[in-house]
Amino acid sequence: MALTGLMDYLGGTPMGGRTREEIVDRLMEQAAEAAALRLDKKAVALIERVLSVAGPARESLSEIRALLHKNGIKLEAPLLVEAQAW
């Protein structure tokens, strides 16, 4: 692995009190975090808002429907089917 090779090149001495393995592990974590898919902040806020809806089913579905409509998301058919089940 390239990171291990780099650490070998730099020497086997700990850096900042951390072992070579700890440094490589942290660098790998940081690389994975940087490569991870990130949602738009507006999308995250909408998801959180939808997930926070609570109460009786019919009222909750109406609130979710309004939130989605306001944000240009069309899920009427699935929501309608669920509402008819009650």
The 10s digit of each residue's pLDDT in 44-60 is 999 999 999 999 988 99
The alpha helices in the chain, defined as continuous H runs, are 2-10, 20-35, 41-51, 57-70, 76-85
pLDDT at 11: 64
- Give the separation between CA 55 and CA 64, rounded to whole angstroms: 11
pLDDT at 8: 66
pLDDT at 6: 63
45 and 79 in a single domain? The answer is yes
45 and 81 in a single domain? The answer is yes
81 and 45 in a single domain? The answer is yes
45 and 68 in a single domain? The answer is yes
Instruction: Give the range of the structural domain holding residue 67, as residue numbers without chain letter.
Output: 41-85
* Cβ(61)–Cβ(79) below 8 Å: yes
**How far is CA 42 from its chain centroid?**
13
49 and 81 in a single domain? The answer is yes
46 and 25 in a single domain? The answer is no
Which residues of the chain are modeled with pLDDT < 50? none
User: Is the pTM above the cut of 0.95?
Assistant: no
pLDDT at 2: 66
Task: Name the domain count of the chain.
Answer: 2
